[in-house]
């Protein structure tokens, strides 16, 4: 009976350790994503502000359209690059959070 209780305690301890490792990976991954989003938001705001300032200084409609088109193109390319980067960060987050459970599942087989 004591042996079964000790085994049960060890399983509970192992499960808590695995959950804590997974939670740690989730925390670190979430922080990395938050930093990346904040940096992108700041950069996008600065780029938008600079484009607006240039637009206010334009004297012809053709130049205004050209500036707006260039800004829209660069903003779209920046967004796509950032979305790709965030997708990779989320994929890495999922892999790292799942990694501690792989050992548990390997033991169960």
Coil, helix or strand for 77? helix
Could you read off the pLDDT of 53-84 as tens digits, one per residue? 999 999 999 999 999 999 999 999 999 999 99
Q: What is the pLDDT of residue 102?
A: 84
- Which residues fall within 8 angstroms of residue 60, CB to CB, at 6 or more apart? none
Could you read off the pLDDT of 39-56 as tens digits, one per residue? 999 999 999 999 999 999
Reported as half-sphere exposure (CB side, CA atoms, 13 A), residue 80 has a value of 6
Q: What is the pLDDT of residue 80?
A: 97
The count of other CB atoms within 10 Å of the CB of residue 29 is: 19
Q: Is the pLDDT of residue 1 over 60?
A: no
Could you give the C-alpha distances from 41 to 7, 54, 91, in angstroms and in order?
Answer: 51, 20, 21
Q: Is the pLDDT of residue 12 over 60?
A: yes
Residue length of the chain: 109
């Amino acid at each position: 009976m004591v042996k079964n209780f000790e085994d049960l305690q060890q399983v509970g301890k192992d499960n808590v350790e695995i959950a804590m490792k997974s939670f740690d990976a989730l925390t670190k991954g979430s922080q990395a994503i938050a930093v990346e989003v904040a940096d992108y938001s700041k950069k996008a705001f600065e780029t938008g502000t600079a484009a607006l300032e240039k637009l206010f200084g334009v004297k012809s409609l053709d130049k205004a359209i050209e500036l707006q088109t260039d800004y829209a193109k660069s903003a779209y390319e920046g967004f796509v690059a950032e979305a790709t980067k965030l997708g990779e960060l989320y994929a890495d987050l999922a892999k790292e959070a799942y990694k501690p459970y792989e050992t548990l599942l390997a033991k169960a087989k």
